[in-house]
Amino acid sequence: MRGLKDRVALVTGAGSGIGRAIATRLGEEGMIVGVLDINGEAAAQTVELIKAAGGRADSQVCDITDYENVKAGVAAIESRIGATWALVNNAGWDKPIPFLKTTPDFWQKVVSINYMGPLHMTHAVVQGMVQRGGGRVIFIASDAGRVGSSGEVVYSGTKGATIAFAKALAREVSRKNVTLNCVAPGPTNTPAMDAFVGTGEEGQKIRDAMVRGVPLGRIGEPRDYPGLVAFLASDDAAFMTGQTISVSGGLTMHG
């Protein structure tokens, strides 16, 4: 893809699932990848995978819910691998609980990881992009933020908020050649999904029910997203900003 080689990408939550697949692909595209995760061991494993495939990467332990930690983490990784061209806000978390059974502690955790996290990262990284006159921010949102998902009410709200945040900031920084776009996955086979539905017989039943709702006949795999992320980070996407694209096998179809 055009305009990726030798540029720096930071990917949050790149120690697992969708983030690891994105980081690996950006490494294959010749980008220098900053693998950020709260789990340092998982981040280091992703770096090894990228290096084993001939790519360049370095890891940074970073808790996206803590703004001071984010600022220090971004400064540290940029001092080692260079200034960021593309930021992929991927890290996220949820647990299925009916809203009326949730508690304020739970709301706080879901909002801190899924909304405040991307906000902290974006604030820390986009300052430099504006000064340098260019950059790309890609949010891994969710179709839950577009159509709602029962059992994931607060999470759906954070993803809808992330989509609106990206649009609003896209307007503010467009003249600095900084674009912001969202990718909205549908249900995807990752460790988060295993934790969400369980891995036993009951979990399989929930997965089968999900598949029945997907026109393309399967749930997502981590490999389904990195191509679009690479495109959004590339020069070919220079005229796109403030957009949200669903990648969900046709589960949701937006006009």
> Given the rule CB under 6 A, which residues bind ligand NAD?
12-13, 15-19, 37-39, 42, 62-65, 90-93, 113, 117, 140, 142, 185, 187-188, 190-193
User: Torsions phi, psi of 218, nearest 5?
Assistant: -160, 165
Give the residue with the Cβ less far from ligand NAD, 90 or 181: 90
Q: Would residue 161 be called left, alpha or beta, if left means φ above 0 and alpha means ψ between -120 and 50 degrees?
A: alpha
Q: What's the min distance (Å) between Cβ of 229 and ligand NAD?
A: 11
Closest approach of ligand NAD to the CB of residue 25, in Å:
14
Sign of torsion over alpha carbons 55, 49, 181, 231? positive
Q: What is the smallest separation between the CB atom of 131 and ligand NAD, expressed in angstroms?
A: 25
Q: Give the residue with the Cβ less far from ligand NAD, 54 or 217.
A: 217
Phi and psi at residue 135, in whole multiples of 5°? 165, 170
Q: Are 165 and 118 in contact (CB under 8 A)?
A: yes
Q: What are phi and psi of 87, to 5 degrees?
A: -110, 125
Q: How far apart are CA 191 and CA 102, in angstroms?
A: 22
Could you identify the residue written with the tokens 């495109």?
231
Q: Which is nearer to ligand NAD, 177 or 189 (CB)?
A: 189
* Residue 155 annotated among the catalytic residues of the structure: yes
Catalytic residue among 67, 115, 155, 225: 155
Closer residue to ligand NAD in complex, CB, 49/130: 49
Report in angstroms how near the CB of residue 196 gets to ligand NAD at its nearest.
Answer: 7
Q: Residue 246 belongs to what H/E stretch?
A: strand 244-247
Measured CA to CA in angstroms, residue 3 lies from 29, 30, 31, 130, 234 at distances of 10, 10, 9, 18, 5
Which of the residues are catalytic? 155
